[in-house]
């Protein structure tokens, strides 16, 4: 199904039930989140062997840890004996192995079964075969991306391709040297809205003049309603009297030195489907990772990344963080205000996109293409 053209100005959105229906959400988990590359954790959070994080990817829980060789490994968070969830915490540290809390099967940091009660009396148990089940991993831009598909899609096409498509050239992001930036602040938002509403909101700026007073002050062209994502390669320019990307337009932090001249005083936004937003400004990079937990609930983790010297010196990043924190709250409030209407009978056919939002139609086509025909639960 493609978006319906309703008039010269209007095209249709997805039908309302696609934002609330359990069967559709399950299909999205199965065919999108469990099939594509999923940005899971900041690599620097796994700073030594045995430190781990657990993340929800579609319907599966995944453990991501660093081995003694310094490599990153990811496994399904499921004991091979009788299926207990191995790690219950969102993050933690083990000494040298993961031990199941049920019958004490024990796995090393590479996932191999290394001990179990009476294991030596069962020499036929293949310790590799009954080790934890591996998940594909890839490190890019300082983040660990995982993929549950048996045959992962091309990372170059799906992830790097999205950046290239938006910026016009992959080299445009290299100057930000994201992999070598440091975490200055992280804020986690529990958003009571469908993940697609959050993406759609991020893709358009028709709402900017209404709900983002601070952002439009810094980026005056956003007040016209055309998002940076509307044009290939375009970055929104700071206002003439704006000194930095801060809540009051005051001076920002140290500028990333490897940027090109035309990237100074500009803001770029990139959506990497299905769950990542990248925001580039001269002195920091903001990365959003979404974790869709239910049709009407999405956790969003937002990281503010600065030059390591800025973070190490303890410089005050609060005016800088506050700008996009407010933008996030304004955006997520708007998404939460949309969510209840998605199940309303008058929204059965969905809403409409005005011309400055028409590019969202391509996102809807993409979702339809991935999910295909699903019989709604209701
Ligand atoms: Fe893990 Fe039995 S379920 S050891
Ligand atoms: Fe917004």
Q: Taking the mean position of all CA atoms in its chain, how far away is CA 282? A: 21
Between the alpha carbon of residue 218 and those of residues 131, 306, 328, the distances in Å are 53, 19, 15
Which domain does 85 fall in, by range? Answer: 38-147
* pLDDT digits 0-9 by tens, 10-59: 999 999 999 999 999 999 999 999 999 999 999 999 999 999 999 999 99
189 plus 71 within the same structural domain: no
Q: Which pLDDT belongs to residue 227?
A: 67
255 plus 299 within the same structural domain: yes
Residue closest via CA to ligand 1's atom 2 equals 103
* Contact residues for 266 (Cβ-Cβ < 8 A; gap 6+): 235, 236, 237, 238, 281, 282
Q: Which pLDDT belongs to residue 234?
A: 86
How many CA atoms within 13 Å lie on the side-chain side of 336?
A: 13
For residue 203, what are its two tokens?
A: 């893709």
Q: Which atom of ligand 1 is nearest to the CA of 80?
A: 1
Ligand 1 pocket residue status of 81, Cβ below 6 Å: yes
Q: What ligand has the least distance to the C-alpha of 203? A: 2
Q: What ligand has the least distance to the C-alpha of 269? A: 2
215 plus 273 within the same structural domain: yes
71 plus 139 within the same structural domain: yes
137 plus 222 within the same structural domain: no
Q: Which pLDDT belongs to residue 372?
A: 86
- Mean pLDDT by 10-residue block, N- to C-terminus, for the chain (378 residues)? 80 96 97 98 97 98 97 98 97 96 98 96 95 98 98 97 93 96 98 98 94 96 76 88 96 95 92 97 98 98 98 97 98 98 96 93 96 87
C-alpha–C-alpha distance, residues 279 and 289, integer Å: 12
Q: Is 285 a member of any domain?
A: yes
C-alpha–C-alpha distance, residues 260 and 266, integer Å: 11
Ordered DSSP codes for 94-112: -SSEEE-TTT--EEETTS-
Q: Which atom of ligand 1 is nearest to the CA of 86?
A: 1
Residue closest via CA to ligand 1's atom 4 equals 103
Among 100, 126, 147, identify where a domain stops.
147
142 plus 220 within the same structural domain: no
Gyration radius (Cα) of the chain, Å: 22
Q: Which atom of ligand 1 is nearest to the CA of 104?
A: 4
Ligand 1 pocket residue status of 148, Cβ below 6 Å: no
| Total domains in the fold of the chain | 2
User: What is the Å distance from ligand 1's center to 52 Cα?
Assistant: 20
Q: Is 159 a member of any domain?
A: no
Q: Is 168 a member of any domain?
A: no
Q: Which pLDDT belongs to residue 2?
A: 66
Q: Supply the CATH number for residue 255's domain.
A: 3.90.380.10
User: What is the Å distance from ligand 1's center to 38 Cα?
Assistant: 28
Q: Which pLDDT belongs to residue 228?
A: 61
Q: What is the pTM of this model?
A: 0.96
Ligand 1 pocket residue status of 101, Cβ below 6 Å: no
Largest CA distance in the chain: 76
Neighbours of ion ligand 2 (CB under 5 A): 331
Q: Is 103 a member of any domain?
A: yes
Q: Which pLDDT belongs to residue 132?
A: 98
Q: What ligand has the least distance to the C-alpha of 85? A: 1
Q: Which pLDDT belongs to residue 190?
A: 98
Ligand 1 pocket residue status of 105, Cβ below 6 Å: yes
Ordered DSSP codes for 195-233: HHHHHHHHH--TTHHHH-HHHHHHSGGGGGT--GGGSTT
186 plus 230 within the same structural domain: yes
302 plus 366 within the same structural domain: yes
Q: Is 27 a member of any domain?
A: yes
Q: What ligand has the least distance to the C-alpha of 216? A: 2
29 plus 84 within the same structural domain: no
Q: Is 154 a member of any domain?
A: no
22 plus 137 within the same structural domain: no
Q: Which pLDDT belongs to residue 226?
A: 74
Ligand 1 pocket residue status of 82, Cβ below 6 Å: yes
265 plus 118 within the same structural domain: no
Between the alpha carbon of residue 240 and those of residues 29, 217, 249, 265, the distances in Å are 45, 10, 10, 10
Q: Supply the CATH number for residue 131's domain.
A: 2.102.10.10
Cis-peptide into 183, omega within 30 deg: no
Q: Is the dihedral of CA 28, 30, 31, 37 positive or negative?
A: positive
226 plus 344 within the same structural domain: yes
């Amino acid at each position: 199904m493609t978006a319906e053209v309703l008039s010269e100005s209007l095209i249709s959105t997805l039908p309302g039930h696609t934002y609330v229906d359990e069967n559709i959400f399950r299909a999205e988990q199965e065919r999108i989140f469990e099939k594509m590359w999923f940005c899971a954790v900041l690599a620097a959070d796994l700073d030594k062997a045995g430190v781990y994080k657990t993340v929800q990817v579609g319907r599966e829980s995944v453990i991501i840890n660093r081995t003694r060789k310094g490599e990153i490994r990811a496994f399904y968070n499921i004991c091979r004996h009788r299926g207990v969830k191995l790690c219950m915490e969102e993050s933690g540290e083990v000494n040298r192995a993961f031990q199941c809390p049920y019958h004490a099967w024990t796995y090393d940091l590479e996932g191999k079964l290394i001990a179990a009660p009476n294991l030596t009396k069962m020499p036929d148990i293949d310790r590799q075969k009954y080790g934890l089940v591996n998940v594909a991993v890839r490190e890019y831009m300082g983040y660990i991306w995982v993929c549950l598909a048996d045959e992962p899609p091309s990372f170059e096409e799906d992830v790097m391709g999205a950046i290239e498509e938006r910026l016009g050239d992959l080299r445009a992001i290299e100057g930000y040297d994201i992999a070598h930036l440091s975490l200055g602040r992280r804020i986690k938002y529990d958003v009571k809205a469908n993940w697609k509403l959050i993406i759609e909101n991020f893709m358009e700026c028709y709402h900017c003049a209404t709900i983002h007073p601070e952002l439009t002050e810094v980026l005056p062209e956003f007040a016209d309603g055309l998002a940076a994502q509307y044009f290939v390669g375009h970055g929104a320019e700071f206002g003439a009297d704006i000194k930095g990307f801060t809540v009051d337009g005051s001076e920002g932090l140290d500028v990333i030195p490897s940027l090109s001249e035309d990237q100074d005083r500009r803001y770029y936004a990139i959506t990497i489907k299905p769950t990542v937003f990248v925001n580039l400004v001269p002195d920091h990079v903001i990365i959003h990772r979404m974790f869709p937990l239910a049709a009407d609930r999405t956790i969003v983790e937002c990281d503010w990344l600065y030059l390591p010297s800025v973070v190490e010196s303890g410089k005050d990043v609060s005016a800088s963080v506050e700008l996009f924190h407010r933008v996030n709250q304004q955006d997520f409030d708007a998404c939460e205000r949309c969510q209840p209407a998605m199940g309303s009978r008058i929204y059965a056919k969905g809403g409409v996109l005005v011309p400055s939002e028409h590019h969202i139609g391509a996102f809807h086509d993409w979702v339809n293409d991935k999910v295909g025909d699903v019989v709604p639960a209701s």
